[in-house]
């Protein structure tokens, strides 16, 4: 045989154990934050039509859901409230007995060690569906900050472990950091939706949270999907203002951004595997076109490989179960 000199990469792929030995990226149950949609009323458990397997649940049914989450080894949930009443300034977001505040207390009553991430925004609570104060058809930045601070403080008072502002108003991190500190919550971290694009992938979420804007869109405060450098400007601003985690949202079509932010910033990076990403997989799997488990594991592993330390995902329970069975 002729003398040849080439690299034999296949040596490290020769068996399942060999591949596992040299695997660079791993998924763990502890990597995930599981979203919960909490509604008012009693004995409410309604499947979201565009998100099979995901439910709006009422406070009195949370215990069963929490039991499963904890049993699977998931360490954190993110809470989204779906109130009955809305008004022009989103009063329900910062009411002491708002739906997220009550849901936080319910989590802590049953599982004090389970981390509660409180989504801090106004869109689910405003009758116009925008993430801030609206005047003459314009979303006002600075006027919205005051309400967002009240919301964050109220959530911390209810027992939230992490405040996650998702509104994309300029200055929201420094305003909330100052408000939390002034209220005695200096140790509560901020998980900032630092890089949040104005994306078509959010469609199913807006059904789940009943939060679609009633006029216009959110392009004046969420980012243009075509922009890359803007993501780094946003991330650096939030770091300077006091963020403790940085969220990139969406994830699947923005893994270049996840990697950019990871390379530039030395905070934990959170990828939000959003509703549209979830629903596309579910729809394809329901039609028998893909292997759901294989696709989900591959896509979430890709998010971690791109640089995500944590992943907010509607697949979290499924993946945690699959990891146990592996």
Enzyme catalytic residues? 196, 249
DSSP lists the bridge partners of residue 175 as none
CA distance 5 to 8: 9
Contact 231, 248 (CB under 8 A): yes
Q: Tell me 222's DSSP state.
A: S
218 is annotated as contributing to ligand binding? yes
19 is annotated as contributing to ligand binding? no
Going by C-alpha positions, the residue among 303, 314, 257 that lies closest to residue 280 is 314
Task: Report CA-CA distances (Å) from 105 to 81, 110, 112, 163, 222.
Answer: 13, 9, 9, 15, 31
**How many residues in total does the chain contain?**
326
34 is annotated as contributing to ligand binding? no
144 is annotated as contributing to ligand binding? no
Of the CA atoms within 13 Å of residue 24, those in its CB half-sphere come to: 8
314 is annotated as contributing to ligand binding? yes
Contact 272, 249 (CB under 8 A): yes
Helices 141-158 & 99-110 angle (0-180, nearest 10): 30
275 is annotated as contributing to ligand binding? yes
β-bridge pairing 45-47 and 32-39: unpaired
Contact 144, 198 (CB under 8 A): no
Chain center to CA of 3: 55
Going by C-alpha positions, the residue among 259, 258, 254, 181 that lies closest to residue 224 is 254
β-bridge pairing 45-47 and 55-58: antiparallel
Residue ranges of the annotated binding site for Mg(2+) are: 234
Residue ranges of the annotated binding site for 5-aminolevulinate are: 206, 218, 275, 314
Residue ranges of the annotated binding site for Zn(2+) are: 121, 123, 131
Residue ranges of the annotated binding site are: 121, 123, 131, 206, 218, 234, 275, 314
């Amino acid at each position: 045989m002729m003398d040849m000199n080439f690299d034999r990469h296949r040596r490290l792929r020769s068996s399942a154990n060999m591949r596992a030995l040299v695997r660079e990226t791993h998924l763990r149950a502890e990597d995930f934050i599981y979203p919960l949609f909490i509604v008012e009323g009693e004995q409410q458990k309604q499947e979201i039509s565009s998100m099979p397997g995901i439910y709006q649940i009422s406070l009195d049914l949370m215990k069963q859901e929490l039991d499963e989450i904890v049993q699977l080894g998931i360490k954190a949930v993110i809470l989204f409230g779906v109130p009955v009443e809305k008004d022009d300034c989103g009063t329900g977001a910062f009411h002491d007995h708002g739906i997220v505040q009550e849901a936080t207390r319910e989590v802590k009553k049953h599982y004090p060690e389970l981390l509660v991430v409180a989504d801090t925004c106004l869109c689910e609570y405003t009758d116009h569906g925008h993430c801030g104060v609206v005047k003459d058809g314009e979303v006002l930045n600075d006027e919205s900050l005051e309400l967002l601070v009240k919301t964050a403080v109220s959530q911390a008072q209810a027992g939230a472990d992490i405040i996650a502002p998702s509104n994309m108003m300029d200055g929201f991190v420094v305003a909330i950091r100052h408000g939390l500190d002034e209220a005695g919550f200096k140790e509560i971290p901020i998980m900032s939706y630092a890089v949040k694009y104005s994306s078509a992938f959010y469609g199913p979420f807006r059904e789940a949270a009943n939060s679609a804007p009633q006029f216009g869109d959110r392009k004046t405060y969420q980012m243009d999907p075509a922009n890359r450098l803007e993501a780094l400007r946003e991330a650096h601003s939030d770091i300077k203002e006091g963020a403790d985690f940085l969220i990139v949202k969406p994830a699947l079509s923005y893994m270049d951004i996840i990697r950019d932010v990871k390379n530039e910033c030395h905070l934990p990076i959170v990828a939000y595997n959003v509703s549209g990403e979830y629903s596309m997989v579910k729809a394809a799997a329901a039609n028998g076109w893909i292997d759901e488990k294989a696709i989900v594991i591959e896509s979430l592993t890709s998010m971690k490989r791109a640089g995500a330390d944590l992943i907010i995902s509607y697949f979290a329970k499924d993946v945690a179960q699959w990891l146990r069975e592996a």
